[in-house]
Structure 1
Amino acid sequence: MFKALLHPNDSAISTTSRILCNLHFPFSHKFLTTTTTTTSNPHSPSFAVSYFINNLKFSSESALKASKLVHFKTSKKPDSVLSFFRTHGFTDSDIHKIIRREPWLLSCDTQKRVLPKFQFLLSKGASTSDVVRIVVGNPRFMKSSLNNRVIPIYNLVTQYLQSDQKTIASIIACPSLLCSDYLAPNINMMAENGVCYSSIYRILRTRPNVIFCRLRELEETVKELKNMGFDPSKSYFGDALLGKIGLSKSKWNERIDTFKSWGWSEETVLEAIKRQPKCMLASNDKINRVMSFWVNEMDWDSSYLVKGPGMFGYCLEKRIIPRAMVIFYLLAKGLRSEKASLLSPFYVSEKLFLERYVLCFKEEESSHLLKLYHAMMKLGDKKARDIEES
């Protein structure tokens, strides 16, 4: 009887059963013979494997692995789970992505395990499409306890962001927020170390994933910045923390060395970082290109950039160069005092720049400045595209 069941020409042997037989798992011979039935038999132990392969396009290897995380012998339960997600706005593509990461969902009670989490987010102002984006971005949150994990984390984030709208926006940007093991202890540690409210707010609003590191690692970074002279009670500390965590120690030191190569001292670099910590996120190449244009092309002192390190975050080709050409023309023509701030033209909006430095002059002068500015912008666009394509 067993030989008949295992005969390779027997049409009753399913594709999945052949795979199981060829896999050299430490199953007993007796178990292998009992699983070699057709996949159409819903009571076969290999039914879950077939379901993953046929309904969700899993590979044989992935299906075998996923089948160990589910408990169903008929299609009733998994079909109901797929139907649940479809009725809540998820596409088949969304569902496949979710199940591949969290296959256990196919055998869970969605009404008790998943629906309450959807309802909680919807009650806070999230739309159906918001919920879909959050779940697809981080399906693991559906495994977390609503009362013991999701709600406490949500409330903690809202405590700093002060609105459900901002909290939902941050969760959409970083869905891992809702089930992070590190968020709460890290936020509490920062608060205990004097990191101000506005710094924590900025981190949660812009790059909350940065503080998804181990408590000891973040605590050491906070202490390191404090030892460098950064005041945690100041609003810039949050940006400094983002920059320090976002760069390895070697890259952080490389940035400092790059600035120093342009004549800045260690103290000067720290002064610039305190004014705008995000300057450290500019690449070495970007720093060198901005410095080279400012110092070598425009013959302006690099010390100006110590007071305006935010310049390293602007596009050289589409912002700095076009505006610099206008300011250079105005200085050359005596239309702008040399004592006037050299930095302010670069920080204002496009509208204010045109009003204050182009259109405010007589018609002939304004017309020339506008042509100059537009020509430099056009050239800058082309240059920027060339850089992106190279």
Structure 2
Amino acid sequence: MLKWFLHKNVVLDLITTKSQSTTPKFNPLLQHLYSSFSFRYCSTTTTTSQSQSESDKHPFAVSYLINNFGFSHESALKAFNQKRVRFNTLEKPNSVINFFKNNGFSHYNIGIIIRKEPWLLSSQPHKRLLPKFQFFISKGVSSSDIVSLLTANPRILHVSLEKRIIPLFELLSKFFKTNKDVIFCLIRRSYGFSHYTYDRIVANINLMSAFGVCDSGIGSVLLIAPSIICSTDLIDTLKEVKGLGFDPSNITFGQAMIAKKGLSKKIWDEKVDTFKKWGWSDEAFFQVFRSRPNLMMVSIDKVNLLMSFWVNQLGWNSLALTKMPQIFSYSLHKRIIPRASVLQYLLMKGLRKNNASLVTPFSYNEKMFLSKFVFSFKGESDYLLKLYEEKMKLAYSEENNGMPLTK
């Protein structure tokens, strides 16, 4: 600190020149040097020194935003004029920053929050901020989750606790098992904090409930694709998904809404054509889609890679995959290839019946798979384990070398 203090005075000496009246005059060529000190030092300077160096050119608050939080001149003036950032001393901004620091926010977190919501520096933290912190804490939200929530969506601090935050929290709580899930939803999706959006959400949730969509289905849409809840044509989506054969009371209905609404018609048609290219009929595809609508969230590249391995390298029928479509969500290199190598060897040796399910072994956890398909074959177990481990090592080796793996 002493070293900084001496350095600061040297800078001041350079910037100011004494006239006969001893009134300091600032050298414009060096003024920028003094204004570039970091926030942690600026916050300890006196109001007099700040105003001498900065307010001659800008309002105090504007200079403060520029020097301490990296605002451009234009964005600082915009904050001053449009967002009512008003303070003439360090007292207000310091009280806000200290409030955040005392509640676990780092300088990095504070910087993000202030750049998004500079008006906070003009607020009274114990009146404007503390009640909202106390509400979240009363709901069992951890300090670290509060930091994550407000760093991601500091606009929450702008809206009314009674008119917006509490009603929105209680609304979302109906569709999630824990308050932590509600916070996770709020962290990921900053919706519902404007009057218009909140009213639209309430109306569409009521519409989905009246249509018969179950709470878990509504919850999945809220978490994964909240834009659907905010859409103006929700009734059309509900009717379309029901027309595809989905039961609104089943959680798959919400998943189908996400898939159907989340993909453009062009992408949807391309994905359907990809499955058909590998031998699936329209009937087979829609039968699988109705049982597992998440299938449409798998990329076309992933589908082609898995199908190519299954059909071209293993020589197996692609229709077998319709029996267990979740296989498309498994890692090709870490799960499918190692297990397929074991199964292929067993089939070749006549140790597994040709009419046995090809896909079931991929659904087991690793311990059960090794028990049923490796260790149960006493005479072959050493070789099978070696074969399995070699494929696994290859997958991890390629991953460690930076080669992309299909997950």
User: Partner letter of residue 303 of structure 1?
Assistant: L
Q: For the structure 1 residues 184 and 131, does the alpha-carbon distance in structure 2 shift closer, same or farther, using more than 3 Å as the test?
A: same
Q: Is it true that 1:46 corresponds to 2:59 in the alignment?
A: yes
Would you say the 8 A contact 1:183–1:211 is kept in 2? no
The counterpart of 2:351, out of the listed 335, 339, 346, is 335
Structure 2 CA distance for aligned equivalents of residues 38 and 201 of structure 1 = 52
- Kept after mapping to 2: 8 A contact 1:154/1:178: no
Of 198, 223, 226, which aligns to 2:216? 198
CA spacing shift, 1:77–1:14, aligned 2, 3 Å: farther
Task: Describe the shift of the 1:311–1:158 C-alpha distance in structure 2 as closer, same or farther (beyond 3 A).
Answer: same
Gaps of 5+ in 2: 1-23, 33-49
Inter-partner Cα distance in structure 2 for 1:229 and 1:44: 68
Q: Which residue of 1 aligns with 2:172?
A: 157
Local SS of the residue matching 1:280: helix
2:193 matches 1:179: yes
Pick aligned residue for 2:68 from 55, 64, 77: 55
C-alpha distance after superposition, 1:80-133 (max 9, x if no partner): 111111111111111110011111111122222211111111111111111111
What CA RMSD, in Å, does the superposition of the two structures yield over aligned residues? Answer: 2.8
Distance 1:280 1:219 in 2: 21
Match among 117, 124, 129 for residue 102 of structure 1: 117
- Higher mean alpha-carbon deviation, 78-87 vs 331-340, is at 331-340
Distance in 2 between the 1:382 and 1:280 partners? 30
| Counterpart mapping for 1:179-328 below 5 A | 179=193, 181=197, 182-204=200-222, 207-211=223-227, 214-328=230-344
Q: Tell me if the contact between 1:12 and 1:38 (Cα under 8 Å) persists in the aligned partners.
A: no
For 2:369, which of 334, 353, 377 is the aligned residue?
Answer: 353
Matches within 5 A, 1:122-133: 122-133=137-148
- 1:246 & 1:309 partners in 2: Cα distance? 20
Matched with 2:394 is 379
Shift of 1:348: 1.4
CA-CA distance at 1:45 after TM superposition = 6.1
* Distance in 1 of aligned mates of 2:181 and 2:68: 38
Query: Within 1, Cα distance between the matches of 2:261 and 2:101?
Result: 40
Question: Structure 2 length normalisation: TM-score?
Answer: 0.80
**Superposition map of 1:1-16 within 5 A:** 11=25
* Distance (whole Å) between structure 2 residues aligned to residue 291 and residue 257 of structure 1: 13
Q: 1:85 to 1:305 in 2, by over 3 A?
A: same
357 and 226 in structure 1: CA distance in 2 versus 1, 3 angstrom threshold: same
Identity of aligned residues (%): 45
What TM-score comes out, normalization by structure 1 length?
A: 0.83
Aligned to 1:136: 151
1:238 is paired with a residue whose SS is helix
1:22 — aligned with what?
A: none
1:7 corresponding residue in structure 2: none
Residue 46 of structure 2 corresponds to none
Alpha carbons of structure 1 residues 387 and 271: separation in structure 2 relative to 1, 3 Å: farther
| Distance in 1 (alpha carbons) for counterparts of 2:192 and 2:145 | 14
Is contact 1:135–1:175 with CA below 8 Å preserved after alignment?
A: no
Partner of 2:39: none
Greater displacement, 374-383 / 140-149: 374-383
Structure 1 distance, partners of 2:28, 2:157, is 34
Count how many residue pairs are aligned between Structure 1 and Structure 2.
358
Cα distance in structure 2, aligned partners of 1:47 and 1:191: 52
Q: In 2 relative to 1, CA 41–373 (structure 1 residues): closer, same or farther, beyond 3 Å?
A: closer
Cα gap change, 1:57 to 1:45, in 2 (>3 Å): closer
Q: Aligned partners of 2:226, 2:334: CA distance in 1, in Å?
A: 29
**Residues 177, 208 of structure 1: 8 Å contact kept:** no
Q: Distance in 2 between matches of 1:197 and 1:340?
A: 39
Task: Describe the superposition over 1:288-333 as per-residue Cα deviations: whole angstroms up to 9, x where unpaired.
Answer: 1111111111111111111211111111111111111111112222
Tell me the amino acid that sits aligned with residue 62 of structure 1: S
Could you say which residue in structure 2 is the equivalent of 1:3?
Answer: none
Distance in 1 (alpha carbons) for counterparts of 2:60 and 2:331:
57
For 1:13 and 1:103, the matched residues in 2 are separated by 30
Matched residue, 2:94: 79
Q: Deviations over 1:141-199 (max 9, x none)?
A: 11111111111111122112233243334334x25256372543332222222212232
Query: What is the alpha-carbon distance in structure 1 between the residues aligned to residue 162 and residue 56 of structure 2?
Result: 36
In structure 2, how many angstroms separate the alpha carbons of the residues matched to 1:186 and 1:371?
56
Question: How far, CA to CA, are the matches of 1:105 and 1:209 in structure 2?
Answer: 30
SS in 2 for 1:264: coil
- Classify the secondary structure of the residue corresponding to 1:160: coil
In 2, Cα distance between equivalents of 1:46 and 1:379: 63
